[in-house]
Structure 1
Amino acid sequence: MAKERTSLRGRIWASLRPVDPYRSVKAALGALVIVSVAITTFLIIVAVNAAIELRVIAVFAVIASLLITQFVAHGLVAPLDEMTQAARAMARGDYGRRVLFDRRDELGELGATFNRMAADLEAADRHRKELVANVSHELRTPIAALRAVLENVVDGVSRADPETMRTALRQTERLGGLVEHLLDLSRLDHGVVPLHTRRFEVWPYLANVLKEANMSKGQGHSRTDVHLALDVSPPELTAHADAERLHQVVANLIDNAVKHSPPHGRVTVSARPGAQPDGLELEVQDEGPGIPEPDRDRVFERFGRAAAADAGQDGGTGLGLAIARWAVDLHGGRIRVAESTRGCRMVVTLPGLGRLPD
């Protein structure tokens, strides 16, 4: 009953807003007209009763109306002037400016919206600067290594033997992988990647992904001691998804798990039926140090890394998991870091047939 009374009171208060001069600019302007007319009427009545000339009364009425209008106009224009100054500062690149007036009317709502817009622009500008800095750093590392190898060959310090060429090839592949990741993120931002879904058998599909991962050992990364295992139950399991995008997801998760595995570790890829028909639940489990709970959302951000990577371990470019989340989001699914007694357990859940986004 108390809740109903509170709700009724809120509806009545909201219905009175158009006539509340503190909460509506329209009501404030209406009050200005009413007050001006009332003052003029009062002065005319006084003039008639006191035998004062009407022109004197008219002068006083005009002066009083101008004073009241000036007071109200200042209250309405001052917030707009403040927003104008803040907008000019933002045009010069100062996204830290905010409007500070406290009002309950439409101008107050406009100021709050302006502040939210300024905060979004500031975050976007900060993200852009971080992106440029991170991309520059990630590109500089393989380019510098490749240049050093080639300079040693040209100067005669090293011979152009197969081992030296393999070192140069690894840096080239690393550079090419980073560029491919950036292209994927560009397609993500522009929304130009449609889904081409089909039904396929999960076991041979994942077996082929693991085969490619085994073949890439020693090229994309130097880990050749990590064992890859596959567990699909039931073996005849089928799924409905975009095979190419799902390949990106699984390949990136495997690559990330291999990089963080201990010596002679094991990475297990598991597949189970999803909750919906033709749905799929994938897991990639490693035996590494795992991801601390505060970092579990951060690792899916662009160039996001866990604390271990920031501390000096090789965390890769920080783009693989962002691309994996993007591909899963395209399917309307979910990717997360699940609880695990050992290592890191990545879980991907894809919806069933008929529940994929258009």
Structure 2
Amino acid sequence: MRLSLFTKIFIVLLLSSLITLIGISLLINVSFRGGLQNYLNNSEIEKAESIASFLINFYSDRDGWQEVEQNSIVWRAAIDSIGEKLPPEHANLLSTEELINAETSPFFARLSFYDANGNNLAGYAVEDIPQRNDLLQPSIPVIKDDQQVGTIYILQKKSITGPLAEGFFNEQMKSFYIIFFISAIFTFGLALVLVRYFLKPLNDLQKGSQELMEGNLEYKIYPQGNDELADLSHAFNKMTAALKNQKETRDQWLSDISHELRTPISVLRSEIEAIEDGIRKPEPRYISSLHRQVLNLADLVEDLYQLSLTDSGVEIKPTDTVSLTKIVESVAEQFSIRFGQKNIRIVRQYMANLDLRLKADSKSLTQLVTNLFENSLRYTDENGVLQVTLINQPEHLILVMDDSTPTVPNESIPKLFDRLYRVDKSRSRANGGSGLGMSICQNIVNAHNGNITAAQSNLGGLRVEIRLPKENS
């Protein structure tokens, strides 16, 4: 049988409360008799001490306890001093047997007074009392001038007995059972309310999960309080927002890819159909146009593939020690001829022999620099300038690339790293751009725990700044 979390917590709270109450009742049941008797016994010891203080006035250094021994009035007066009353001398006192077995007996009947020599001066005979586990005989010394001159004994029992004591105990237990019953009902109600209250966020999360499974990404949970469950509710809302954003991005991504693929495919189809219908002859210029469209498609597919690799980060392992200077120099050398064809100068703002090293993935870092050079080559006007700067900081290396006109509008700069975004789509297609290069660069930089930003350059074009940590943990 499946038990819900509500049932489990409710049962735990209820059982723990009931066990606590039952434990208290058992402890009371066990300790009540002894505890009450101990209280009574201690009270009697205090009375005996008062009697000892009274009797010491009748002790004589020369005659000892002769006055007490010869005159029973003194003992009677000592009992009277604590508010007790001895019966008349002719009244029958309890025998030793009756004293031991009686369920209740007066305090004075259980007192015994002995001198320092062990002679019984008043009360019962201590030596006549048998050794029993249910009996106590505490002794109270009678002191004068720091010497013990006598002893008072009290015959007591360890636990309450007798109808009176049992009646009192039963009355107390009845009261406790009533309290126990009321407490159990209160605990039941309190546990019910608290469990429902504390599990409400979990119920909301369960409902929210079902809504997400059904595709409702607009569902939100309204957190209550400031505890871990509230944090969990906030995390759920953030997750829902992230899923919604991912869905929108994915839908836009698929739409953009479809659009990017549709254009070259439409051109290829129309030109091939024109050749098939005899409208055009398969001349070299038409075949060359088809070849360019195929190359554009191949470049787009390759960029998509590279973007997927950098998204996953599978092939990016920033664990090797590489020289950023050498990578920049190598890529610059590869692009030198193409830059020369457009008469674009490469200005180095660093010393070529300065070896700047960092922990990185050599392959992906080379691709990053290559993409930046490619962008500058494509989108910088002829007779322009590309300025490359390397800055060495204690914990970071900074690569800055500034190119000349044309620039990028301010409203477009934040979107440069969006996938398939191009400032001028027609001009980008003419230059072979897919709009994925900057997204790939951002993925590579993020995989190296770095930061990449774009801004307008003082040279009139675009400024791209990359900050890479020297060590990747």
Q: Tell which deviates more after alignment, 324-333 or 185-194.
A: 324-333
Greater displacement, 237-246 / 249-258 = 237-246
Q: Between the two proteins, what is the percent identity of the paired residues? A: 23
**2:230 aligned with 1:113:** no
Residue of 257, 281, 298 corresponding to 2:399: 281
Question: Does the Cα contact within 8 Å between 1:149 and 1:168 map onto a contact in 2?
Answer: yes
- Residue number in structure 2 paired with 1:162: 284
Whether the 8 Å contact between 2:402 and 2:457 is mirrored in structure 1 is: no
1:232 corresponding residue in structure 2: 348
Q: Specify the alignment match of 1:141 in structure 2.
A: 263
Describe the shift of the 1:112–1:51 C-alpha distance in structure 2 as closer, same or farther (beyond 3 A).
same
Query: Which shows bigger deviation, 271-280 or 322-331?
Result: 271-280
Report deviation, 1:50: 11
Distance 1:357 1:325 in 2: 17
Root-mean-square deviation over aligned CA pairs: 4.0
Aligned length: 306
Q: Distance in 2 between matches of 1:143 and 1:53?
A: 92
Offset of residue 319 of structure 1: 0.7
Q: Which residue of 1 aligns with 2:464?
A: 347
Letter in 2 for 1:82: D
Q: Distance in 2 between matches of 1:309 and 1:49?
A: 96
Segments of 5+ residues of structure 1 without an aligned counterpart are 1-24, 42-47, 216-225
Structure 2 residue aligned with 1:188: 310
For the structure 1 residues 89 and 164, does the alpha-carbon distance in structure 2 shift closer, same or farther, using more than 3 Å as the test?
Answer: same
Q: Provide the rounded CA distance (Å) in 1 between the counterparts of 2:200 and 2:363.
A: 57
Partner AA of 2:337 in structure 1: K
Report the AA paired with residue 256 of structure 1. N
C-alpha separation in 2, matches of 1:106 and 1:243: 43
Structure 2 contact 303–434 (Cα < 8 Å) conserved: no
- Counting only pairs closer than 5 Å after superposition, residues 1-358 of structure 1 correspond to structure 2 as 33=17, 60-193=182-315, 194=317, 197-198=322-323, 200=326, 202-203=328-329, 205-212=331-338, 226-233=342-349, 236-237=352-353, 239=355, 240=357, 244-261=363-380, 265-276=382-393, 281-292=399-410, 294-305=411-422, 308-309=423-424, 314=428, 316-331=433-448, 333-341=450-458, 343-349=460-466, 355-357=470-472
Residue identity matched to 1:184: Q
Alpha-carbon distance in 1 for matches of 2:181, 2:329 = 93
How far, CA to CA, are the matches of 1:280 and 1:54 in structure 2?
Answer: 79
- Structure showing greater Rg: 2
Question: 1:147 deviation in Å?
Answer: 1.6
- TM-score between both structures, scaled by the size of structure 1: 0.69
1:287, distance to aligned residue in structure 2 (A): 0.4
Give the 3-state SS of the residue equivalent to 2:196 in structure 1.
Answer: helix
1:230–1:269 Cα contact (<8 Å) kept: yes
1:202 is displaced (CA, Å) by 4.9
Deviations 1:275-325 (A, max 9, x none): 159956341403014231x443321132344xx447x76474321111122
Residues 407 and 462 in structure 2, CA contact (< 8 A), matched pair in contact too = no
8 A contact 1:303–1:318 mirrored in 2: yes
Is the Cα contact below 8 Å between 2:404 and 2:457 reproduced in 1? no
**Distance in 2 between residues matched to 1:112 and 1:81, nearest whole Å:** 15
Q: Is the 8 A contact 1:252 1:324 kept in 2?
A: yes
TM-score, normalised via structure 2 length: 0.54
Is the Cα–Cα contact under 8 Å of residues 328 and 348 in structure 1 kept in the other structure?
Answer: no
Counterpart-to-counterpart distance in 1, 2:176 and 2:444: 80
Q: Secondary structure at the match of 2:387?
A: strand
Give secondary structure in 1 for the equivalent of 2:185.
Answer: helix
Q: CA deviation at 1:96?
A: 1.9
